[in-house]
Structure 1
C-alpha cells in the first residue's frame, strides 16, 4: 500500500525560494465559481450515489437549478462590482444546457476550466480510457464554446483517480500543446503552488483551491452562519496577507451559485470581497494566470529547492 498519493514531494513551508507576485502583491487572489449541471436521474455508479433522496430527487435538482437561474446572476454582479474575473470550475454539459450563462461569462473574460461533464457522473470505476475520453470531451467542449485552451482541472465532485493528473496533462498537450492541461485544483496540501509529478514529465503545478473557504463546506458540512463564513474569509486572508509579505501566497474562494448567492448569504460574501479587494497589494487574478506565472518564473527554482531539502538531485 502507498504511504502517500505520490503526486508531490514533501516541501517545508519555511525558507522556500521567495515568490514575488506582479506589482509586488502579497497575495494572489482568485475566485472559483463552480457552475455545475446535475442530472435528475443520472446513471448509477456503484461507488457513490448522486442523491441522498430517492429518485427523482426533485429538491436537490431544483435548488441547483435555482443556482443557474438566479444565483449565478447575483454572484456575477457582485464579482463585477469588485473587479473579480471568475475562474469557472465548469460542468461542461452546461455549454449545451445553458449557453446563455457561458456567453455572459465570455463577455467578462472569465476563465473556464474543466470540472468534468456532469457533476453527477464520477471518475470512480472508470477505466483509464474512459477517464481519458471524459477529460478530452470536457476540454474539447470548452474550446468549442469559448475558444479557451483549458488549463485547469477539478475532478467532477472531487472524484479523483490515481491517473487523473497524468491524463489531464496528456490530453491537454495533445489538444493544445504547452497551453493546455497545466494545473490542478484537486490537491489541498499547500498555500503556494507546488510542482507535481507526472509520468510524462510535463511541467505541471497544483494551485491552492481551499476546501476550508468553499461555501458548500462552510454551509453544508461545517454548518456555520453566513456572518461567520464572511469573517472566516477575512481571517484567512489576513493570515495569508501577513505571510505574503515574506513570500507570495495564494487565496482561493470556491463558490457555488446555489450556496453563496442565496439572498441571506450574499451580503457576507460581498463584504469579504470588499475587504480583500480594498488592499492595494493584492493580485486579483485567475487560476490560469497564477499557474502560468509560477511555471514561467518559479517552477525550476522550486524543483531545485525540493531536491536540496531532500538531499537529492533534480
Structure 2
C-alpha cells in the first residue's frame, strides 16, 4: 500500500527559488470554467453512480443543460468585461454536442484543456489501455475542433487513476511533441507550480487549481452563500498577493456555468473579479501560459532545489530521484 501518491517529493513552502512573473507581477491569476457535458442516461459504472436519482435524472441533467444554454453566455460576457481569457476544462464531447460554444471561445482566444470526454464517464475501473484511449480521444478532439495542442488535464469528475498523469504526459508527446501534455490540475497540494515525477521523465508540472475556490465545492459541498463566496475569493487573493511580494504565487478560480452563473450568484463573483483585476502587479493569464512560463524559467531550478533537499535528508546519496 502506498504511503503517498508518489508524484512529488516533500518541498516545504519556504526558501524556494524565487518566482518572478512577467512584468514583475506578484500573482498569476487564471479562471478555469468547467464546460461539461453530462449524459441523461450514461453507461453504468459500478464504482460510481452518475446521478443520485433513478433514470432519467431530469433535474440534474437540466440544470447542467441550463449552464450550457444560459450560464455560459453570462460568464463569458463577464470575463470579457474584465479582459479575462478563460482556460476551459472541457468535456470534449461538447465539441460535437454544442460546437457554438467552442466557436465563441475560440474567437476570444481562450485555452482548451482536457476534462475527459463526458463528465458522466469516469476513470474508475478503466484499464490503462482504456484510459490511454480516452485521453488520446479527448486531446485529438480538442486539436480537431480548435487547432490547440492540449497542454493541461483535469480527470473527468476528478476520477483519477494511478496512471493518469503518466498517460497524459505520454500521449501529449506522442501526438504533438514535448509542448503538449505538460500540466495537471488534479493535484491540490500547493500555491505555486511544482515539478511532477513522470515515468517518461518528461518536464511536467502541477499548476494550482483550487478546490477551495471551486464554486461547486463552495455552493454544493460547503453550503456557502454567494456573498460569502465572493468574500472568500477576495480573502484568498489578498493572502496570495501578499506572499507574492516574496515569490510569485498562483490563484485559480474554477467555475461551472450552472453554478456561479445563476442570476443570484453572479453579482458576488463579478465583485470579486473587479477587486482582483483592479490591483497592480497581477498577471491575468491562462493555465497554459503559466505552465509554459514556469517550465522555461523556473522548472529546472525548482527540480534541482528539490533534489538537493532530498539528498540532504538522505545523507548525500542519490537514490534515483527525478
Both structures adopt the same fold (TM-score exceeding 0.5): yes
Which residue is equivalent to 2:190? 190
Which residue is equivalent to 1:282? 282
What residue ranges of structure 2 are gaps of 5+ in the alignment?
Answer: none
Q: Could you give the per-residue CA deviations for residues 271-314 of structure 1, whole angstroms, max 9, x where no partner exists? A: 00000000120000000000001110001000111112222556
1:268 to partner: Cα distance: 0.3
1:179 to partner: Cα distance: 1.6
CA distance in 2, matches of 1:227, 1:127: 43
CA distance in 1, matches of 2:258, 2:56: 19
Cα RMSD (Å) of the superposition? 0.6
CA distance in 2, matches of 1:75, 1:271: 13
Residues 1-314 of structure 1 correspond to what in structure 2 (within 5 A)? 1-310=1-310, 311=312
Deviation >2 Å, runs of 4+: none
What residue ranges of structure 1 are gaps of 5+ in the alignment?
Answer: none
CA distance in 1, matches of 2:307, 2:129: 33
Give the structure-2-normalised TM-score. Answer: 0.97
2:30 aligns to what SS in structure 1? strand
CA distance in 1, matches of 2:70, 2:147: 26
1:101 aligns to what SS in structure 2? helix
CA distance in 2, matches of 1:16, 1:261: 38
Q: Could you give the per-residue CA deviations for residues 17-73 of structure 1, whole angstroms, max 9, x where no partner exists? A: 000000000000000000000000000000000001111000000000000000000
2:88 aligns to what SS in structure 1? strand
CA distance in 2, matches of 1:31, 1:155: 17
